[in-house]
C-alpha cells in the first residue's frame, strides 16, 4: 500500500478528519439515511435513501391507494401535491411560496420554460420585441438541455447561440430572447455566476432560465434575491427524492400570469374538472403543470424532504466547501504525483459540491474503486467524478476515499 505523501502524512489527515467530524454541525443528519460501510460519493447522480421513506411509501400504497383509492385525491391531498411539495422545495432554492411546482422531468420543464420565455418576451411588445430570435445556450450544458433547446428553437423560429457561460455577456443583444444556463457544470463542478449573469441577461432585455440540477440541495441559490425568471431542476440528486423522482419548475411570481406553456394539459387549466373544449390557464404556478401527477414518486419525494427540516443552507454550503477542500488535501497527500489532475476550481466562489479528477484509464480506475466500496462515477473520456452530499458524508469518508484512490493508482502503476 502506498504511503501518504505531500505536506500532510497519513496520520495528519486522519487526525484532521476526526477533528473536522467532531465539529460538524450536520453530523446527526447521517443517521437519517440508509448507508452501508462503504463511501458513497455519487449523490450528485442519485442521493441516498432517507430511512423513513420506505414506511411512508408503504402507507401511500397500502392505505391511500389500497384502502382509500380514488378518495385519496382529496382526502390524502394528492391533487394539490405538486404545489404543496413545490413549497417545500422553494426555501432550498431561495424562493418564496407559490412559485415552484413539482411535476414532470427536468427535460420537460426545460422545454416548457424555454418556449414560454420566448413567447413572453415577444408578447411584451415594444420596439424590437418581435425580432428577438436567439436562444443562447450554455455550451457546457448536460446534453439533454441542448437537445431540448434545439427543439424549442425550431418551434419558435429561433436560432441557437452556443456559448461558454463566461462569454455570455458579450453575446447578448437586441436579438436575444432567452438564455439557458447551468448553475454548475456537471463535469467539472464549476459554479457559474448566477447573480452576475442574470443581471447581464436582464440588462439586454431578455429572460433567463437556470438549470439547478447540480446545486439544488447543495448550496444556497437565491432565486428571488437575484431576480431569476425561470428555473428547473431534478430532485433525485442532492434532494434525495429517489430514482426518477419528479423535477421542479420555478416561475417568478411576476411572470406567472404571462407564462404561456407549450404543453397546455388539463392539470394546468383554470377549471380542470370543467372539461371545457377551450384551454384557459390557471392564474398561478399551477399553470406549470401538464398531466396527472406521478403520485408514488411525488410522495416519496415529499417524505424525503423531511430530512431538510431545521437545516440551514448556509451550513450545508460551509460543510460542502470544507469537505471538498479536505478531499483535495487528502488526494494531494495520498495519490502518487502526476497520476490525477483536478479540474474542479480551487476558488470557493467557482466550486459546486463535487470534485472531478482527470485520470488515465478513469473508467477502469472507477470500477476498481467501486469494488473496494468507494462509489463515485466516470465521465468520458477521462474523468473521475466525486459528489459530496453534506447531509450524510463525513470527513472520514473523504479521507478514506482519497486513501483508497491513492492505493489503487499506486498498485496500477506498479502492476501489483
Q: Which of 33, 40, 142, 388 is flagged as catalytic?
A: 142
Q: Return d(Cα 29, Cα 235) in angstroms, integer.
A: 18
The helix, strand and coil proportions of the chain, stated in percent and rounded to the nearest 5, come to: 45, 15, 40
Q: Are 85 and 298 in contact (CB under 8 A)?
A: yes
Question: What is the pairing mode between strands 248-251 and 100-102?
Answer: antiparallel
Is the alpha carbon torsion for 43, 44, 45, 49 positive or negative?
positive
Angle of the 143-156 helix axis to the 106-123 helix axis, nearest 10: 40
Q: Which of 186, 236, 238, 392 is flagged as catalytic?
A: 236
Indicate if 237 belongs to the active site. Answer: yes
CA distance readout (Å), 346 to 66, 245, 331, 405, 415:
52, 32, 14, 20, 32
Q: Return d(Cα 210, Cα 199) in angstroms, integer.
A: 13
Q: Could you tell me which residues come within 8 angstroms of residue 53 by beta carbon, excluding any fewer than 6 positions away? A: 242, 300, 303, 304
What residue ranges in 80-133 does DSSP mark as E strands? 100-102
Task: Give the three-state DSSP class for 375.
Answer: strand
DSSP designation for 281: B
Q: Which of 237, 287, 319, 400 is flagged as catalytic?
A: 237
Buried b (16+ CB within 10 A) or exposed e, 49-76: bbeebeebbeebeeebbeeeeeebbeeb
Q: Could you tell me which residues come within 8 angstroms of residue 295 by beta carbon, excluding any fewer than 6 positions away? A: 60, 65, 78, 81
Q: Return d(Cα 177, Cα 194) in angstroms, integer.
A: 18
Q: Residue 233 belongs to what H/E stretch?
A: strand 230-233
Q: Which of 211, 229, 377, 397 is flagged as catalytic?
A: 211
Indicate if 211 belongs to the active site. Answer: yes
Indicate if 236 belongs to the active site. Answer: yes
Q: Which of 29, 88, 385, 403 is flagged as catalytic?
A: 385
Q: Return d(Cα 251, Cα 238) in angstroms, integer.
A: 21
Grid cell 383554470 — which residue?
Answer: 270
CA distance readout (Å), 96 to 214, 219, 224:
21, 17, 7
Q: Annotated active-site positions, please?
A: 142, 211, 236-237, 385
Amino acid at each position: 500500500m502506498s504511503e501518504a505523501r505531500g505536506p500532510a502524512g497519513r496520520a495528519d489527515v486522519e487526525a484532521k478528519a476526526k477533528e473536522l467530524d467532531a465539529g460538524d454541525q450536520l453530523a446527526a443528519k447521517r443517521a437519517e439515511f440508509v448507508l452501508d460501510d462503504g463511501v458513497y460519493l455519487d449523490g450528485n447522480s442519485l442521493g441516498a435513501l432517507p430511512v423513513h421513506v420506505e414506511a411512508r411509501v408503504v402507507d401511500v400504497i397500502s392505505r391511500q391507494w389500497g384502502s382509500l383509492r380514488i378518495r385519496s385525491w382529496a382526502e390524502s391531498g394528492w391533487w394539490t401535491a405538486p404545489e404543496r411539495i413545490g413549497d417545500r422545495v422553494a426555501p432550498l432554492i431561495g424562493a418564496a411560496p407559490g412559485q415552484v411546482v413539482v411535476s414532470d422531468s427536468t427535460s420537460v420543464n426545460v422545454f416548457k420554460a424555454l418556449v414560454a420565455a420566448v413567447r413572453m418576451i415577444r408578447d411584451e411588445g415594444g420596439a424590437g420585441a418581435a425580432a428577438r430570435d436567439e436562444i443562447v445556450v450554455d455550451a457546457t450544458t448536460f446534453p439533454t438541455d441542448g437537445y431540448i433547446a434545439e427543439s424549442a428553437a425550431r418551434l419558435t423560429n429561433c436560432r441557437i447561440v452556443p456559448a461558454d457561460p463566461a462569454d455570455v455577456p458579450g453575446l447578448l443583444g437586441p436579438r436575444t430572447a432567452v438564455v439557458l444556463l447551468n448553475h454548475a457544470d456537471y463535469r467539472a463542478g464549476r459554479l457559474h455566476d448566477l447573480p452576475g449573469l442574470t443581471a447581464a441577461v436582464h440588462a439586454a432585455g431578455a429572460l433567463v432560465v437556470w438549470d439547478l440540477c447540480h446545486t439544488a440541495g447543495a448550496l444556497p441559490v437565491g432565486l428571488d434575491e437575484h431576480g431569476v425568471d425561470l428555473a428547473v431542476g431534478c430532485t433525485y440528486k442532492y434532494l434525495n427524492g429517489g430514482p426518477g423522482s419528479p423535477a421542479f419548475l420555478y416561475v417568478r411570481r411576476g411572470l406567472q400570469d404571462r407564462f404561456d406553456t407549450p404543453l397546455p394539459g388539463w392539470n394546468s387549466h383554470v377549471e380542470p374538472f370543467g372539461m371545457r373544449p377551450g384551454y384557459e390557464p390557471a392564474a398561478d404556478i399551477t399553470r406549470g403543470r401538464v398531466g396527472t401527477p406521478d403520485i408514488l414518486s411525488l410522495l416519496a419525494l415529499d417524505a424525503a424532504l423531511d430530512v431538510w427540516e431545521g437545516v440551514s443552507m448556509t451550513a450545508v454550503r460551509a460543510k460542502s466547501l470544507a469537505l471538498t477542500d479536505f478531499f483535495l488535501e487528502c488526494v494531494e497527500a495520498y495519490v502518487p504525483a502526476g497520476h490525477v489532475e483536478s479540474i474542479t476550481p480551487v476558488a470557493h466562489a467557482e466550486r459546486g459540491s463535487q470534485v472531478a479528477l482527470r485520470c488515465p484509464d478513469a473508467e477502469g480506475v472507477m470500477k476498481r474503486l467501486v469494488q473496494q466500496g468507494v462509489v463515485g462515477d466516470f465521465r468520458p473520456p477521462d474523468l473521475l467524478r466525486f459528489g459530496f452530499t453534506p447531509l450524510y458524508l463525513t470527513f472520514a469518508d473523504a479521507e478514506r476515499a482519497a486513501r483508497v484512490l491513492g492505493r489503487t493508482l499506486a498498485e496500477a502503476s506498479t502492476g501489483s
